[in-house]
Amino acid sequence: MVTDLRSRLGRIVFERVAGADGPQKRDRIHRAPGERWFAEDRPIRTVHADSSMFIGGLRALLLQSLHPLAMAGVAGHSGYRGDPWGRLQRTSYFLAVTTFGVAEDAEAAVRRVRAIHRKVAGTAPDGTAYSAADPHLLKWVHLAEVDSFLWTYQRYGTAPLDAAGRDGYVADTARVARALGVVDPPETEAELGAQLAGYRSELRGTPEARSAARFVLLRPPLPAVARPPYAVLAATAVASLPAWARLPLRLPYLPLTEATVVRAAGVGVTRLLRWVSQPAPAAAA
């Protein structure tokens, strides 16, 4: 009965994240023969296979929204309100295929994303022109993702990386960033922190960013049964943000609660997601 429950919950979570054709994509990503971008022992595989990515993904979205031009592109072109699950599924596929898939599929995914980026351009509410293909904006999106995935893995992952592993993760992600058009992505954890700090003067909380945060955190289209665990993920993602990132988005800062209740809940929900995502044990012969 417990195994059946785990399988059922696992299918629900997987379909939300990967889409109806997720099983076919998963088989292709993991079973197709051919050279991969990353060997099996690389840190990027360790981090991107862990359930802490659920928290990291929410954290990355909140952090990315602080750049007004990046947020303008999302608000104007991504359709995240009308089809949030479709956007999640496209993002999760890109991460999976570039991390675990054969090189030709990873390269095809990068070409598709770059083609989309060339079409995403416009003018922000303050009159500033933007383009999703701008290497400067691409780098910001990359930095926010890498920092978020690494931070949440170190806090909630199964086996936190040592210093060499953290540098290795940042270096691995630089391989994907360069393919997307990012110029001079960070190769070490120290470079990641320095480059993030270099964007601080450009960041601010726009009405669009605060509206996106409210939608992502409070009003996602979810069935009632999924709302409590999602609320834990959302609270954990907010608690993982630095204080300087919360004030512009008008997000709360409750250090004592976050260090105790929220952290414990975050550990619990990532363990739950890890449990339901595991394949069921084979039946005894």
Residue-wise pLDDT tens digits, 57-111: 999 999 999 999 999 988 877 666 656 666 778 888 999 999 999 999 999 999 9
Average pLDDT of the chain?
A: 88
CA 48 – CA 218 distance, rounded (Å): 25
User: Beta-carbon neighbour count of residue 113 at 10 Å?
Assistant: 18
Whole-number pLDDT of residue 227? 83
Instruction: Report angle CA 96, 99, 102 to the nearest 5 degrees.
Output: 90
Q: Return the percentage of the chain with pLDDT > 70, whole number.
A: 87
Whole-angstrom CA distances from 128 to 73, 121, 134, 207, 221 are 11, 11, 13, 16, 32
Residue 25 or residue 78, greater confidence = 25
